Amino acid sequence: MIKIAIIIGSTRPGRVGPSVAQWVYEIAKQRSDASFEIVDIADFDLPLLDEPVSAAYHQYSKPHTQKWASKIDGFDGFVFVTPEYNHSTSGALKNALDYIYAEWNNKAAGFVSYGSLSGARAVEQLRPIMAELQIADVRAQVAFSLFTDFENFSVFNPDPRHADEVNAMLSQLIAWAGALKPLREKK
Ligand SMILES: Cc1cc2nc3c(=O)[nH]c(=O)nc-3n(C[C@H](O)[C@H](O)[C@H](O)COP(=O)(O)O)c2cc1C
């Protein structure tokens, strides 16, 4: 069974990320072609990158890095739930991506974003990062507008049409996560 992590990309107090991730999870768990788990970066207390050696060398020296690496290692693919901060993703998500390397390789990812332009710019910034991490990012994405999918820009109340978009994104993600399995097994 393909295992997909739905990763909450914001960590600040009062964030809306968890409600978006939970909504995606409720749709995802109705599927029978993969299993899903919400992973909250905030639970890992990752400081700003404090590893002396680049993650590509796989010499993780800190307990928080090892804990994060071991969590991510268990998945075949990822749904990154990203806010848009200053036309990019959050520092917290970028930091969490930078911390490890091999655990991301030859896996697949899809994106769920939110913001005033539905977080589209955050996802555009994430796509080249995926290439460097050797993550295959799928075309279909889900984008929520702060104006129409939230009340007062803070209470998540999405247009129901997004449920079909979640499933379209997940179908591509699960297919690619499965297709890359032979490469992961070569590790
Ligand atoms: C530091 C910061 C920068 C932001 N910059 C943008 C931005 O460039 N574009 C945008 O659409 N929204 C921006 N916003 C608004 C966020 O999209 C909105 O606050 C959203 O709820 C953030 O996600 P979170 O609640 O999960 O942290 C910004 C918010 C913060 C805190």
pLDDT of 35 > 70? The answer is yes
**What number does the ligand 1 atom closest to the CA of 114 have?**
17
Residue 83 beta carbon below 6 angstroms from any ligand 1 atom? yes
Q: What is the pLDDT of residues 86-135, one digit of tens each?
A: 999 999 999 999 999 999 999 999 999 999 999 999 999 999 999 999 99
Q: What is the pLDDT of residues 144-163, one digit of tens each?
A: 999 999 999 999 999 999 99
Count CB neighbours of 49 within 10 A.
Answer: 15
pLDDT of amino acid 186:
81
Q: Burial-class residue 68 by CB neighbours within 10 Å (0-12, 13-18, 19+).
A: buried
pTM for this model (two decimals): 0.98
Residue 115 beta carbon below 6 angstroms from any ligand 1 atom? yes
Minimum CA distance residue for ligand 1 atom 3: 85
Contact between residue 119 and residue 148 where contact means Cβ atoms under 8 Å apart: no
